Structure 1
Amino acid sequence: MTYTGDVRPGDPADVRELDEVVLRKLAVGPAANNAYLLTCRRSGAQLLVDAADEPERLAALLRDASAGSRLDLVVTTHQHADHHRALASVVALTGAPVAAGDADADAIAAATGVHVQRRLHHGDTLTLGHLVLEVVALRGHTPGSVALVYREPEHVHADGAVAGRAHLLTGDSLFPGGVGATGGDEARFTALYRDVVERVFERFGDDSWVYPGHGADTTLGVERPHLAEWRARGW
């Protein structure tokens, strides 16, 4: 297994292998957006989080991960263009349905010409083969921003696996060092900070892994001591 937690455009994908899932991370496009491919190890089902850019590299990622280019679902974390520039191409290639937060779904469809078949709400679950992912709405960066949460099973066997640990794919709502941008809008910041604290930090343990929409990964344990600092500075 290789996993550094950080990739740059042009690098090969980082790969994390857990008991039930293989998670691949690939940075694409000029903004180094992180695209994540989750593969259920038992069924081969696959989910792509953010078809952000460079569709040819995303297609190669699919081919490397499975026999063919199987893709069961694309989740777009929010409506900003740098997170869905390759969406139409990926859907045309794979026929995969698309899911996004309800409040962002219309904007994504208008920008990409792709129908959003599933409109996500806080507390929804997505089934990927034998995996279950929880939807966590984190409002503020955009109205419909969503994160996905996968929990490792209570009995684990793979190297590096931790029973019950959460893995959070947070889009642009949570990064190392703070929450996502809210344009200097106090109401948007307050909403996002509240959701991140109540729906993420108050629910999940310090060993929970955070996979953001750009840049390196982090854990909740690393970020938790700085929550008051984030609130005081307002970003």
Structure 2
Amino acid sequence: MMLRRIVVGPLRTNCWVAHAPGERQALLVDPGADAGHVLNAVRDFDIVAIVLTHAHFDHVLAVPEVAHELGVPVLAHPDDAPVWPHELDHLRRHGHFDAGTDTAKLLAADPSCLTPDPAAPLWDGRFEAVHDGQELAVGGITATVLHTPGHTPGGLTLALPGHLLTGDTLFPGGPGLTGWPLSDFDTIMLSVRRLLAYSPGTAVHPGHGRSTTVGRERSQLEEWQQRGW
């Protein structure tokens, strides 16, 4: 089991390529921005599908260009269907995307960083549905789809041998952000508990920042529950 990380966009989103050693076939997870950079980074692979852990802007902005260039389907959980329309509505009303607690800081540093490139196509929101427990067999590996809602209604995690690609559900030090529309803290904690039931050595690779392990995070679970975020 091999992973390649491609860091893209103003929120430093982790885009992942998952493949078996020596195999060209691979899955591409969360091409969130910088389509040209992503495409250059996967030239040595035969990408079979794009998988979205969720549909927030920083995980999908490069989807139309990358999917078109590679000629591959986009896979996501059906419960996330309302998320991208909500993102676009926020963009229309405010002139920029919602980056949660980082919004003001990012806009102060660069007012254009949360607006899409006018020359790049916006995703039309269409995807093929995948469901909890569904297995994706690609080039000698099998990825299992886990429905891990809370950050968004259709958030998902890809479970691979020894690895979890958790999107914005689980990070070092706690669950992903809740408190905005379509998110829910109690729901994400149920998802986090499910992920932390994996063996302690399982690597956790989030949608932003550094990786961790189940064992490293499990001891903090009740602390996160009590603090409420």
> Of 140, 156, 164, which aligns to 1:130?
140
For the 8 Å contact 1:182–1:189, the answer to whether it is kept is yes
1:1-235 equivalence runs, <5 A: 21-41=1-21, 43-63=23-43, 65-66=44-45, 70-105=46-81, 107-108=83-84, 112-113=123-124, 115-117=126-128, 119-151=129-161, 166-183=162-179, 188-197=184-193, 199-202=194-197, 204-235=198-229
TM-superposed deviation, 1:107: 4.4
Task: Report the identity percentage.
Answer: 36
Give distance in 1, aligned partners of 2:209 and 2:37. 18
For the 8 Å contact 1:42–1:130, the answer to whether it is kept is no
Report the aligned-residue RMSD: 1.9
- 1:142/1:114 Cα in 2 relative to 1: closer, same or farther (>3 Å)? closer
Give, as a single letter, the amino acid of the residue that structure 2 aligns with 1:96: V
- Structure 2: unaligned runs, 5 residues or longer: 89-121
Give, as a single letter, the amino acid of the residue that structure 2 aligns with 1:36: W
**For residues 60-96 of structure 1, what are the alpha-carbon distances to aligned partners after superposition, in whole Å with 9 as ceiling and x for unaligned?**
1111x33xxx211000110111100000010111001
For the 8 Å contact 2:196–2:217, the answer to whether it is kept is no
SS in structure 2 at match of 1:36? strand
**For residues 178-223 of structure 1, what are the alpha-carbon distances to aligned partners after superposition, in whole Å with 9 as ceiling and x for unaligned?**
00111178x81111101210x2112x11111000000000111111
- Structure 1: unaligned runs, 5 residues or longer: 1-20, 152-165
Give distance in 2, aligned partners of 1:83 and 1:182. 17
For the 8 Å contact 1:42–1:129, the answer to whether it is kept is no
For the 8 Å contact 1:22–1:40, the answer to whether it is kept is yes
Q: TM-score, normalised by structure 1?
A: 0.77
How many residues get paired? 193
